[in-house]
Chains A and B, each alone.
Chain A
Amino acid sequence: QVQLQESGPGLVKPSDTLSLTCDVFGNSITSSNWWVWIRQPPGKGLEWIGYIYYSGSTYYNPSLKSRVTMSVDTSKSQFSLNLSSVTAVDTAVYYCAQKGTGDTYYATWGQGTLVTVSS
């Protein structure tokens, strides 16, 4: 069964780029899965950021599309999120997750990592 673990800086300055990585354990990152990012501002609801296939195909939330870049490193079995020009509203717990091809839900989630945007 796949396990996911997020990592990255817990504090990012306004206007900088937020960069996170998710390590994939227990399943090949090149299997038939889409690798997902979802975030949750403190005390608020969930927001889908987007997902990426190991081949590099991506789908992003239209509201974030201009600032989001996702990538996959198959040699390290990890995928990444870059969010540029961050402001305080980007402060959130960021989760990575997994979606099977053809699935309409997210069966496996990482534990989440809090990223605070502040000077």
Chain B
Amino acid sequence: QSALTQPASVSASPGQSITISCAGTSTDIGYNHVSWYQQHPGKAPKLMIYDVSNRPSGVSNRFSGSKSGNTASLTISGLQAEDEADYYCSSYTTPSTLFGGGTKLTVL
């Protein structure tokens, strides 16, 4: 299986919104088992979105997820400096998991 396809980097200014895409196929993204992880340098990934659009308890509602066809998206609104991190999408296809290559978000 090939990794899911994400843009290498995105950037925006504080207060703006960004969207990170995650492209796959009907056999991975095509199922509604997409999750998103945030990773700050030297830290473990943190779950931000699961099952396409669900937020775990404690995650800001500035983070939202969606999917269209075989492409999932993570949107972050009202960008803050602390959002600067790497973001990874993931697709769970029983029993395995596929990750995207990661997107570096820079808050200008």
- A interface residues, Cβ below 8 angstroms from B: 45-48, 51, 59, 61-62, 95, 103-107, 109-112
Asked if B99 and A111 sit within 8 Å, CB to CB, the answer is no
Complex Cα gap A119–B102 (Å): 30
Could you say which residues of chain B place their CB within 8 Å of the CB of A46? 37, 45, 88, 90, 99, 102
Contact with A along B12-44 (1 / 0, CB 8 A): 000000000000000000000101010000011
Inter-chain contact B44/A110, CB cutoff 8 Å: yes
Q: Contact check: which of A62, A107, A109 meets B56 at CB < 8 Å?
A: A107
* Chain A, interface SS category: loop
Give the contact-size bracket for chain B: 20 to 34
Rounded to whole angstroms, the CA-CA distance of A47 and B37 in the bound complex is: 13
A59-B95, A61-B96 as given contacts; A45 in contact with B50, CB under 8 Å: no
B residues within 8 Å of A by Cβ? Answer: 3, 33, 35, 37, 43-47, 50-51, 56, 88, 90, 92, 95-102
Q: Does the CB pair B47–A105 fall under 8 Å?
A: yes
Interface of chain B: mostly helix, strand, loop or mixed? strand
A104 in complex: contacting residue of B50, B56, B100, CB < 8 Å: B50
Please indicate the chain A residues that have their CB under 8 angstroms from the CB of B51 in the complex.
Answer: 104-105
The 4 closest A-B pairs by CB, nearest first: A104-B92, A104-B33, A59-B95, A105-B35
* Cα(A105)–Cα(B98), bound, Å: 11
Cβ contact within 8 Å between A45 and B100: yes
Tell me if A111 and B96 are in contact (CB < 8 A): no
- Min CB distance B63 to A, Å, is 14
Beta-carbon contact of B98 and A48 below 8 Å = yes
Determine if B44 and A112 form an interchain contact, defined as CB atoms under 8 angstroms apart.
Answer: yes
B35 to chain A, nearest CB (A): 4
**A residues less than 8 Å from B102 (CB atoms):** 45-46
